[in-house]
Amino acid sequence: MSEEMLSKVSDYLDSRVPLTQIAQGAEAVVFSTSTHPYLPLRESNKKFVIKYRPPKKYRHPSIDRALTKHRTLSESRLLAKLYLIPGLKVPQLIACDAYNGYIWLEFLGEFLPDDAGFSNLKNFLWMYADKDPYDAVVQETLSKVGEQIGLLHWNDYCHGDLTSSNIVLVREGGTWQPYLIDFGLGSTSSMVEDKGVDLYVLERAIVSTHSAFADVYKGWLMQGFSQVYQRHGEKGDKKLKEVLNRFQEVRMRGRKRSMIG
């Protein structure tokens, strides 16, 4: 990220607000800070996340402002709703400035030990691939990931960019608890097509980065996913069958596109 952008963000917040860039994507830049948006300005041991959507110079300024406002507000509203779903793990929304493209969130990484060596599912699986990919910890963690996705879909929400990088692992009670993050493309949707696409995107992410153990990993993920639906009896079984059938259709379309190029 350019010094100009960092200076712009720092000036907007307050030049005294400490900022550390932790990620950058196509739509947003993510920072960590020790300053709360509503409390007195001072550093603390607690961290927060600031997600900032910078202006896009290739768009007309008025269109860019409208899109930034809409996307920032939509993501904030979605996070606020998801946070209220029992059992679903997402970062807590703290503040939103939709007009300027800022979202303040709970910082999940503060719960990770310094020597963990990973903060998301992708890094977690890489670490265990060098040790024992069939470890019970991997199975338990992937089953929990599947359960989180199942809870998301059962409540008729979709992620839109469900990769292993957008699943953060937090140590809770001696086990790893997955949190779903980055809902910039998230939506409310009861369509099995959207849910099938979510599952396909995650499958492709697993295959591309952990191909040697992908089939085993996918099995554990789908085990946790299916359990959420199966808890709801016949209704759940019917919906699960619909989602899995559409998932297979999406997968077949994806393979055909790969073959054609």
Q: Model confidence over 61-104: pLDDT tens digits?
A: 999 999 999 999 999 999 999 999 999 999 999 999 999 999 99
Neighbours of 193 (CB within 10 A): 14
pLDDT-derived band of residue 117, with 50, 70 and 90 as boundaries? very low
Helices (H), the chain: 3-13, 61-82, 121-129, 136-154, 192-209, 214-230, 233-260
pLDDT-derived band of residue 14, with 50, 70 and 90 as boundaries? confident
- 161 a catalytic residue: yes
Question: Contact at 8 Å (CB) between 169 and 121?
Answer: yes
Least-confidence region, from 72-76, 124-128, 136-140, 203-207: 124-128
181 contact partners, CB below 8 Å, separation of at least 6 = 90, 91, 108, 166, 167, 168
pLDDT the model gives residue 255: 61
Predicted structure pTM score: 0.91
The segment(s) of the chain belonging to CATH 3.30.200.20 are 3-109
**pLDDT tens profile 146-159:** 999 999 999 999 99
| Mean pLDDT along residues 193-197 | 97
pLDDT the model gives residue 77: 98
Question: Contact at 8 Å (CB) between 226 and 240?
Answer: yes
The yes/no answer on whether domain 3-109 falls in CATH 3.40.190.10 is no
Question: Contact at 8 Å (CB) between 120 and 163?
Answer: no
Distance CA 160, CA 26 (A): 14
pLDDT the model gives residue 5: 75
pLDDT the model gives residue 177: 94
The segment(s) of the chain belonging to CATH 1.10.510.10 are 112-260
**pLDDT tens profile 226-256:** 999 999 999 999 999 999 999 999 999 876 5
pLDDT the model gives residue 259: 43
Mean pLDDT of the chain: 90
pLDDT the model gives residue 116: 52
* Beta-bridge partner residues of 31: 21, 50
Task: Looking at mean pLDDT, say which of 106-115, 144-153, 165-174 comes out highest.
Answer: 144-153
Does position 111 have pLDDT exceeding 70, yes or no? no
pLDDT the model gives residue 171: 87
Does position 139 have pLDDT exceeding 80, yes or no? yes
Of the candidates 97, 161, 194, 198, the residue annotated as catalytic is: 161
Helix (H) or strand (E) holding 178: strand 175-180
**pLDDT tens profile 21-56:** 888 888 899 999 988 888 877 666 788 999 999 998
141 contact partners, CB below 8 Å, separation of at least 6 = 121, 124, 169, 175, 176, 178
Instruction: Please tell me the CATH superfamily of domain 112-260, with its number.
Output: Transferase(Phosphotransferase) domain 1 (1.10.510.10)
pLDDT the model gives residue 20: 87
pLDDT the model gives residue 109: 67
Least-confidence region, from 110-119, 133-142, 215-224: 110-119
